[in-house]
Structure 1
Amino acid sequence: MSSGYLELDMDLERAKVLKKEEHIKHIKSLVREFSVGGGDVRVPERWLIELGIGWVLHLPLADAASAVQTYDALMTWIRALAQVVEIIGYTEPLFPEQAVNQLSNIFEEEEQVLGQLQFAKFFQEAMFKMLPFVDWIVSEALVASNGMEPPYENLSTLLGVHGALSKALPQIQLASSLPQIQLASSLLLSAEVVRIQHDAVGLLVAKEAKVVGAIWSTMKEIRNRILAPMEDNGDDSSRTATLEGSSDIHKATRSLISYIELLRTNYSSLAPIVSVNYQSHNAAVPPLDSMIIGIASCLEEKLAEETGSFPDRSLKFLFLFNNSYLISQKVDPLWSVIEFNPVTANNESFLSFIKAHQEATIRKVQSYMESYLQASWVPVLSCLFNNPTPLSLAKNKNYSPLAKFESEFQKVYTTQKLWKVPDPGLRKTLRKAINMKIMPDYTKYIEDNNITTKRIAPWELEKMLQELFEG
């Protein structure tokens, strides 16, 4: 490492030390002012204002409520909590044990413990002022939304608060377990310090538990919203689209995909919560993974029921093909999280389950594609080989098998050109499958019957097939 980098590292380290010393000096002055004022609550309140969260002092007033509804305000509260916890970690520098060992009389010993007590009370008061935000955010998250969208934003907010509390709790527990100043003449004061610290830990534990409960309730609400029948969720546009029929991705599928992405992003935070509240039917599968698979399976069953109203069987199978494929594409990447869990990664039962699930998913998607081909293109092809045209009309080119084939092909093409397969790769695969279903037999028919005059040339048919499903 060059001398320039070493100097930069030293400068950064000195800056950190100076910043820490400034924090300690500032907190000492605040604690002293708090103590002289007989526990003046305005002092810790002023500190919270300095930290940018003065609005927590006015909860749950309407103006404060509107202030904390923004992402920036939430992040400010999280940063403020981190700073408070950081300062609490300075307990030893504020009250060094060496200074106590060097005290020469009982008065100085009691003065030292009294200072630590005031420090503990100051932070207790600050925490009391900060943590009602947790209650407020939980109550807001659990209030039923006026809209019908699943409350993903509420879940993200709760996860942010939970993450801050989860990070703060072990640090405060560590601070509370540091050797306390326990002098013979100051046992009562020292015991009071310990009690305050333990109360702070207990309060944080209770708030964290409350947030966990709200997270699980919100997750259940999201599941219910995703799986709610169209006629029950008040979404007229989705209901109309379902009745009329569309091959596109269903709104519920898009909602599930958003949910899966949110769960995957927060997998490490949510896995412990889900493991306590959700009982997996397969012991080899982690509860969160099992829960996601369960929701995806329920949605696919629901979508299959919804297609009962579709006017066209071909459209029904194309719709299921599109939606099942997208769901499988989002569920399967979840298996990559096993890299964070060495125990699961080496679990043969779990790995076998993954393989079996992926194979079953592939078979399901392929079955929808084959059903679509049978409903759409096999009847077109049958015009060439299963032709009941009377002999009197068979020689008429307008009634020939080829003419019927071309006519039916044109009808299907005209209709399905407006249908949609959103995924480019899936669209390419389906076009290729149609080509393989139609073109070999069509070409063979032309060759076997020495047909030289055609309304649509083979290359034109192939070009038309490449225009399908653009929407």
Structure 2
Amino acid sequence: MAERLASVPEESTTVFPAPHPPSSSYRESIRSVDGPEWRIRSSLFPQSSYSGSSYSSSYSGGSNISGCSFGMVSAGVSGFGDGEITKIAHKMVSDGYLQQMVQAFGDQDSDTVLEAWFSELDVPWVLQSRESHGSQFQLQPQELVERWIRSLTLIVVSIEELVAAGDASPAVARFGRASISVMLDFGHTLNLSMPENLQAMLHMYVCVSAASYHMVLVEKSCYMMVLPFLSEARSVVRDTGGLLKRGENKLVQAISDIISKAKVMAFGMVDDSWDIEIVRGRGEVHRSVRMLVDCIVSMREAQASSKESAQSHNIEKLHNLIDDAMDYLKNMIEEKSELCLDPSLRYIFLLNNYNFLAQVVYEPSISLDLELLSAVHHQGLELTPECKKQMDSYLEVSWGQVLSCISASKISGPLRRWISNSSLAKFHSAFHKTYKAQKFWKVPDPRLRSLLREAITKRVISAYRDYLKEHPADLEKQVSAVSSDPDVLEEMVGELFEGR
């Protein structure tokens, strides 16, 4: 902006060479833009699931929060408007097309001019109202948002190009204000209020946030220039930036509303489908947990993308939304875990869910990089304090009673052998009963599953081996049976938590 402003002569004459766009339509150039400037890339797990070999690749029904399979807008804030979009805007100005549209907007029917303008921007549908055209558009939300982002970027850059070309008249301000207002109004009235469209709304937020911040930088560059039209330029840029900030605020509120709906969809259903699935389940991560986690991860991505550009209070609002959603999710996981009638299954349920949160929410570098995730599956898993607490509770409740059967006895003499035999029989009975009950419980994360098996082996099988060493003569007959061999019991532990 500063370089372009520096090249502007002290006097500028606006030219309106043609009533229509050149024969080579700008629309075709706009449609051909396919780069990091505006393209939405997929960075979340496909189909709203945590993939790789750790967790199930899809929900078992229910809403698909990542229905659009969006990621975050890859355009960095510092690069807003760079590349092909800027070239197109610059050509519109050099051809005189933008100046012609500004003049026509003031001299002719403004709605007709805007229709022609948005048609050239490849978004003619932004002028449609729900009342007259209904709530359905021919395009899917992904395509709508992609075109919307591309066009809003071009409008903002076009205003900057006009100012840089020496045209900072009130007419430019009015034309820019009308164009951006229509775009923002359309964004706010889109039927994107459901959780499955959260990422689409976040894309729009990141774009508007970047545009708003870009105009702040442009305004600062205006202050650095000593030009005849400096005050007019600052006025146009400030007016544009203020409009974008207000749009950003509204989008944050829309995101907040979506999160509220997501909470209701995840845990506030009036039926008892969640309760039934928990009771019948095997301790797995429920699809409702996955749905809300998708929302949280998407907001984290948006927060990271707009960290440098968003107003501080909007960044804080996103941060608070994330924290509130996490607190709500944890509370609901604890509450729903009470539905597990078996205390051991309850702790497996809690362990699975808290481990899922730890990987997907607290380790974004892992959850959003599936190749890295696959690579670390063979490495050790460091449990969070919350996960360790749940594992310790599970081991105590589930296997503590098995170990208690072979606790050391202080009785000596003939009675000791009878007690030892009885204790061993109780141990075998308790072990096989626990094994049978838990064999098909599910621990999806292979690292957690391996760690859990190792903990059981270390606590139970090692104690059993030590017990046998302390009673070699008395228990020789007992351990001769294959089902009593420590190696066999260890192999049985290795079969736990695979699910069906």
Shorter-chain TM-score bucket reads 0.5 to 0.7
Q: Secondary structure at the match of 2:463?
A: helix
Q: Secondary structure at the match of 1:460?
A: helix
1:107-256 equivalence runs, <5 A: 116=169, 119-137=172-190, 140-142=191-193, 145=194, 151=195, 153-171=196-214, 174=218, 200-223=240-263, 226=266, 228=267, 232-244=268-280, 246-256=282-292
Please point out which of 87, 100, 119 is paired with 2:158.
Answer: 87
Contact 1:381 1:405 survives alignment (8 Å): yes
1:92-111 equivalence runs, <5 A: 92=163, 94-95=165-166
What per-residue deviation string (whole Å, max 9, x for no partner) do you get for residues 31-90 of structure 1?
387279645642332121121100112222445742465211111011111112222222
Answer yes or no: is 1:467 the counterpart of 2:489: no
- Distance change (3 Å), C-alpha of 1:63 and 1:406: same
Counterpart CA distance in 2 for 1:289 and 1:212 is 11
| Partner in structure 2 of residue 350 of structure 1 | none
Counterpart CA distance in 1 for 2:87 and 2:352 is 58
| Partner in structure 1 of residue 76 of structure 2 | none
- Distance change (3 Å), C-alpha of 1:179 and 1:79: farther
Measured on the aligned residues, the alpha-carbon RMSD in Å equals 4.4
After TM superposition, the score normalised by the length of structure 2 is 0.64
Counterpart CA distance in 1 for 2:494 and 2:353 is 21
| Partner in structure 2 of residue 343 of structure 1 | none
Q: Secondary structure at the match of 2:405?
A: helix
What amino acid does structure 1 have at the position aligned with 2:282? S
| Partner in structure 1 of residue 375 of structure 2 | none
Please point out which of 95, 101, 105 is paired with 1:31.
Answer: 101
Q: Secondary structure at the match of 2:497?
A: coil
| Partner in structure 2 of residue 351 of structure 1 | none
Please point out which of 262, 266, 283 is paired with 2:298.
Answer: 262
Q: Secondary structure at the match of 2:347?
A: helix
Structure 1, unaligned stretches of length 5 or more? 1-12, 97-112, 146-150, 183-189, 279-285, 337-358
Contact 2:177 2:240 survives alignment (8 Å): yes
- Distance change (3 Å), C-alpha of 1:274 and 1:432: farther
Q: Secondary structure at the match of 1:266?
A: helix
1:277-356 equivalence runs, <5 A: 292=322, 295-333=325-363
Deviation at 1:334, TM superposition (A): 6.5
Contact 1:162 1:211 survives alignment (8 Å): yes
Answer yes or no: is 1:446 the counterpart of 2:468: yes
- Give the structure with the larger helix fraction: 1
- Distance change (3 Å), C-alpha of 1:15 and 1:206: closer
Question: Highest relative contact order (Cα 8 Å, sep 6+), 1 or 2?
Answer: 2
Q: Secondary structure at the match of 1:87?
A: helix
Percent of paired sites with the same residue: 28
Please point out which of 432, 441, 464 is paired with 2:454.
Answer: 432
Contact 1:406 1:455 survives alignment (8 Å): no
| Partner in structure 1 of residue 433 of structure 2 | 411
- Distance change (3 Å), C-alpha of 1:269 and 1:465: same
Counterpart CA distance in 2 for 1:409 and 1:14 is 68
Deviation larger for 458-467 or 37-46 = 37-46
| Partner in structure 2 of residue 368 of structure 1 | 390
Deviation at 1:466, TM superposition (A): 0.7
What amino acid does structure 1 have at the position aligned with 2:114? P
Contact 1:274 1:287 survives alignment (8 Å): no
Counterpart CA distance in 1 for 2:88 and 2:298 is 40
| Partner in structure 2 of residue 71 of structure 1 | 142
Contact 1:33 1:43 survives alignment (8 Å): no
Q: Secondary structure at the match of 1:332?
A: coil
| Partner in structure 1 of residue 27 of structure 2 | none
Deviation at 1:365, TM superposition (A): 2.3
What amino acid does structure 2 have at the position aligned with 1:156? Q
Contact 2:249 2:314 survives alignment (8 Å): no
Contact 1:242 1:310 survives alignment (8 Å): yes
Q: Secondary structure at the match of 1:467?
A: coil
Counterpart CA distance in 1 for 2:424 and 2:144 is 70
Looking at CA atoms only, which structure, 1 or 2, has the larger radius of gyration? 1
